[in-house]
Structure 1
Amino acid sequence: SFASLGDKYDVSGNDLLQWWESDGTTDLALLHLESFGNPRAFSRTARRVTRRMPVLTVDAGRTDAGRRAAASHTAAAATRTMTRGALFTQAGITATHSCGELLEAAALMHSQPLPAGPRVAIVTNAGGAGVLAADACAEAGLALPAPTPELVDDLLAVLPEGAAVGNPVDATAAVNEEQLTACVDRIMRYGGIDAVLVALVPTAVAMATGDDLVRALTRAGKRPKPVIAVRLEQGLPVQLLPTEGGGTLPAYAEPQAAARALAHAAHRAAWLARPAGTLPDLDGIDTARAQAVVDAYLDAHPDGGWPAPRVCAELLDCYGIPQLPWAWAETEDDAVLAADRLRGADGRVVMKVHWPGLLHKSAQHAVHLDLRGDQQVRAAYRDLETRFGGLLTGVVLQPLAARGTELFAGVVQDEVFGPLVLFGLGGTATEVLADHAARLAPLTDHDVHDLITAPRCAPLLFGAHGGGPVDLAGLERLLLRLSRMASDLPQLAEADFNPVLATPGGVTVLDARVRLLPRGPQDPYLRRLR
Structure 2
Amino acid sequence: MSTAQHPPRSVEALLADGTTVSIRPLGPSDHAAVLGLHAERMSDDSRRLRFFGASRRAPQLAAERLSGPPRPELLALGAWAGGELVGEADCETVPGHPEAAELALAVADDWHHRGVATLLLEHLVHAARQNGIHTFEADTLADNRAVHRVFSDLGLPVRRRFEQGEVRVHVPLDEADEHYREAVDERGRSADVASLAALLRPASVTVVGASRRPGSVGQSVLLKIRQAGFTGELWAVNPYAAEIAGERAYPSPSTLPGTPDLAVLAVPPIAVASAAEECGRAGVRALVVLTSGLDADAARQLMHVCRRHSMRLVGPNSLGIAQTDPAIRLDAEFGGAFPLPGTAGVAVQSGGVGIALLERLAWLGIGVSSFVSLGDKYDVSGNDLLQWWESDGRTDLALLHVESFGNPRAFSRTARRVTRRFPILTVDAGRSPAGRRGAASHTAAAATPTVTRETLFRQAGITATRSIAELVDTAALLHSQPLPSARCAVAVVSNAGGVGILAADACADTGLTQLELPSDLVTELRDLLPGSASTANPVDTTAAVTPGQLAACLDTLSRSRAVDALLVCLVPTALTTAAQDDPLRALLDGPAHRRIPLAAVLLSQEVPVRLLTCADGGHIPSYTDPQDAARALAHARDRARRLAEPPSPEAAAPPGCDPAAARRLVESFLTANPGGGWLDPALTVELFDCYGLPLTISIWTPDEHGTVVAAQSLRQLGHRREVVLKAYWPGQVHKSAAGAVRTGLATDTQVRQTFREFTERFGSRLTGVVVQPMAAPGLELLAGVVQDRVFGPLVLLGLGGTATEVLDDRAARLAPLTERDLATMPAELRGSALLSGHQGAPAVDLAAVQDVLARLSHLATDLPQLAELDLNPLIARPDGVLCVDARARLEPRPSFDPYLRRLRRPAAAEED
The answer, yes or no, to whether TM exceeds 0.5 is: yes
* Matching of residue 467 in structure 1 with residue 878 in structure 2: no
* Matching of residue 3 in structure 1 with residue 340 in structure 2: no
Paired residue secondary structure (1:205):
coil
Paired residue secondary structure (2:513):
coil
Distance 2:547 2:905 in 1: 55
Distance 1:118 1:352 in 2: 52
Alignment of 1:229-378 (within 5 A): 229-281=600-652, 282-343=654-715, 346-378=720-752
Q: Conserved in 1, the CA contact under 8 Å of 2:379 and 2:904?
A: no
Distance 2:706 2:373 in 1: 67
Distance 2:587 2:824 in 1: 38
Q: Conserved in 2, the CA contact under 8 Å of 1:38 and 1:529?
A: no
Out of 182, 186, 201, the position equivalent to 2:571 is: 201
Q: Conserved in 2, the CA contact under 8 Å of 1:196 and 1:227?
A: yes
Paired residue secondary structure (1:69):
coil
Give ranges in structure 1 of 5+ residues lacking alignment: none
2:871 aligned partner: 497
* Matching of residue 517 in structure 1 with residue 900 in structure 2: no
2:272 aligned partner: none
Paired residue secondary structure (2:373):
coil
1:191 aligned partner: 561
Distance 1:207 1:504, change over 3 A: farther
The 10-residue stretch of structure 1 (432-441 or 111-120) with the greater mean CA deviation from structure 2: 432-441
Distance 1:169 1:187 in 2: 10
Paired residue secondary structure (1:411):
strand
Distance 1:244 1:449, change over 3 A: farther
Paired residue secondary structure (2:745):
strand
Out of 460, 465, 469, the position equivalent to 1:91 is: 460
Give ranges in structure 2 of 5+ residues lacking alignment: 1-368, 907-912
Out of 793, 809, 834, the position equivalent to 1:435 is: 809
Q: Conserved in 2, the CA contact under 8 Å of 1:495 and 1:514?
A: yes
Out of 519, 522, 525, the position equivalent to 1:152 is: 522
Residue 515 of structure 1, CA deviation: 0.3
**Greater relative contact order (Cα 8 A, min sep 6): structure 1 or 2?**
1
Paired residue secondary structure (1:46):
helix
Distance 2:578 2:477 in 1: 32
The Cα offsets for residues 219-245 of structure 1, whole Å up to 9 and x where unpaired, read as: 331211111111111111111111232
Distance 1:196 1:384 in 2: 66
Distance 1:193 1:507, change over 3 A: farther
1:19 aligned partner: 388
2:278 aligned partner: none
Q: Conserved in 2, the CA contact under 8 Å of 1:407 and 1:423?
A: yes
Distance 2:578 2:394 in 1: 46
The Cα offsets for residues 351-392 of structure 1, whole Å up to 9 and x where unpaired, read as: 111111111111111111122222222222221121113111
Q: Conserved in 2, the CA contact under 8 Å of 1:286 and 1:318?
A: yes
2:198 aligned partner: none
Out of 132, 139, 142, the position equivalent to 2:509 is: 139
Distance 2:840 2:515 in 1: 27
Q: Conserved in 2, the CA contact under 8 Å of 1:409 and 1:497?
A: yes
Equivalenced residues, count: 530
Distance 1:8 1:518, change over 3 A: closer
Q: Using structure 1 for the length normalisation, give the TM-score.
A: 0.96
Residue 346 of structure 1, CA deviation: 5.0
Q: Conserved in 2, the CA contact under 8 Å of 1:8 and 1:529?
A: no
* Matching of residue 404 in structure 1 with residue 773 in structure 2: no
Distance 1:234 1:4, change over 3 A: same
Distance 1:468 1:145, change over 3 A: farther
Residue 204 of structure 1, CA deviation: 1.3
The 10-residue stretch of structure 1 (201-210 or 189-198) with the greater mean CA deviation from structure 2: 201-210
Distance 1:485 1:220 in 2: 57
Residue 437 of structure 1, CA deviation: 2.3
Residue 297 of structure 1, CA deviation: 1.7
Amino acid of the structure 2 residue aligned with 1:160:
P
The 10-residue stretch of structure 1 (346-355 or 96-105) with the greater mean CA deviation from structure 2: 346-355
Distance 1:261 1:529 in 2: 36
Paired residue secondary structure (2:839):
helix
Distance 2:642 2:903 in 1: 27
Residue 27 of structure 1, CA deviation: 0.7
Distance 2:681 2:518 in 1: 61
* Matching of residue 108 in structure 1 with residue 477 in structure 2: yes
Residue 315 of structure 1, CA deviation: 1.0
Out of 427, 432, 436, the position equivalent to 1:63 is: 432
Residue 451 of structure 1, CA deviation: 2.3
Q: Using structure 2 for the length normalisation, give the TM-score.
A: 0.57
Distance 2:665 2:842 in 1: 39
Out of 891, 898, 903, the position equivalent to 1:527 is: 903
Amino acid of the structure 1 residue aligned with 2:456:
L
Out of 216, 220, 235, the position equivalent to 2:590 is: 220
Residue 340 of structure 1, CA deviation: 2.6
Distance 2:868 2:586 in 1: 59
Q: Conserved in 2, the CA contact under 8 Å of 1:38 and 1:527?
A: no
Distance 1:264 1:529, change over 3 A: farther
The higher radius of gyration belongs to: 2
Distance 1:464 1:111 in 2: 45
Q: Conserved in 2, the CA contact under 8 Å of 1:294 and 1:516?
A: yes
Amino acid of the structure 2 residue aligned with 1:337:
V
Residue 194 of structure 1, CA deviation: 1.4
Q: Conserved in 1, the CA contact under 8 Å of 2:719 and 2:773?
A: no
